[in-house]
Structure 1
Amino acid sequence: MPVELVDDITVRMAPGMYSWCDLLTFAIPATASATDLINSVLAHPRYRHDCASPWTGNPDPVHGPYRLDSLNADGFQRCTRAEAVTTLWSWPAANLNPWVSAELLLSREVVMAWASPVLSTADEIYRLSVPREGNEHSYGWVVGLNGFHEFLAVCRRRATATVIIATDD
């Protein structure tokens, strides 16, 4: 069951923050099972991105800090909207220096302005919960020093699934 990429947005955080969010939206069959849907997203060439540099279209066998062969549908656990929002709200503050508080507030607003509409319409939300240890590729350590957070928000009514990646490089 192939999925089609219909939107690809990179949201940069406030100046002084080296963090960003990617939102990859896929058109999906509305009746696809969660397992088939997740596996189809994992198989899409755009999902193959090291998140350490701009995406070039080169389908490396990596995703963020992970070897692609370490990811499968079992690595995505169902979570609540509140859990996803709490993670995305808290994440920009990880290891934050105290003198960048204005950037933190702006970054939180930027993240939530993009992620909240996606999460609020989702029927199902899955969180990537594969441990990094033992699953990283050779240079995966450069991604997500302050965390690598990924959610898959599925909206059956709109027949879309949006991958939300929040990380730094």
Structure 2
Amino acid sequence: MTGLDFVGPTCVNFRDHPFPDGQGHGFRWVDLKSFRFPPGSQDSGLLAAVVAHEQFRHDYAGGGVDPGGTRHGPYWLRAVKSGDYQPVTRTEATQVLAEWANQHGGLPGSLEDALEATLFAAVNSASRLYRLPGLGRDAFHDWGGVHIDFHEFVAIDDDRRVLTLLVAADD
């Protein structure tokens, strides 16, 4: 298995930005976790390493990373396999994420800037992108339906040797 060194998290929380007319966008956020990987790493090994990493044990619903946890987002950890990730184009990833971000109307400029500098920068610099498709209700953990939307991508940047796990969700 390929080793990943956790670099750090970045979170863009929509509630940190003022929306006009009190629009309710406060329960959405983007979480990015970045990892360095060694030269010569293969995608299959990188995907397996990120799924096995303790930082992957995150319910994305306020509990944070639980190194001994059994959940990942809305799913039981055991239900998520590295082979579940499907290759996607930059255009597809950008479209999904932009539609999700703008689904309730326009964004404040400060939030657009923050998303461009974090989320879309990772997508645009990626050599390859993968998406975790919906795994179905059978994969949900005991309270896995709390997320209204849950979008997960892995961006692999060969030039910087950085893998970024991107989660855009709301609850």
Q: Classify the TM-score, shorter chain.
A: 0.7 to 0.9
Shift of 1:102: 4.8
Q: Which residue of 2 aligns with 1:154?
A: 156
**Does the CA-based 8 Å contact 1:88-1:111 persist in structure 2?**
no
Query: Which of 139, 142, 145 is 1:141 aligned to?
Result: 145
Determine helix, strand or coil for the equivalent of 1:51.
coil
**Does the CA-based 8 Å contact 1:5-1:25 persist in structure 2?**
yes
Shift of 1:29: 1.7
Quick one: distance in 1 between partners of 2:128 and 2:106?
33
Q: Aligned AA for 1:118? A: A
- Residue 60 and residue 68 in structure 1: after superposition, are their counterparts in 2 closer, same or farther (change >3 A)? same
Quick one: distance in 2 between partners of 1:153 and 1:163?
7
What's the RMSD between the two structures over aligned residues?
A: 1.9
Shift of 1:106: 5.9
Quick one: distance in 1 between partners of 2:3 and 2:141?
26
Structure 2: tracts of 5 or more residues without a match: 19-23
Structure 1: tracts of 5 or more residues without a match: none
Count of equivalent residues: 162
Q: Which moved more, 1:85-94 or 1:74-83?
A: 85-94
Quick one: distance in 1 between partners of 2:106 and 2:43?
39
Query: Which of 122, 128, 131 is 1:124 aligned to?
Result: 128
**Does the CA-based 8 Å contact 1:39-1:73 persist in structure 2?**
yes
2:76 is the counterpart of 1:67: yes
Q: Aligned AA for 2:4? A: V
Q: Aligned AA for 2:3? A: P
Query: Which of 137, 141, 163 is 2:165 aligned to?
Result: 163
**Does the CA-based 8 Å contact 1:127-1:150 persist in structure 2?**
yes
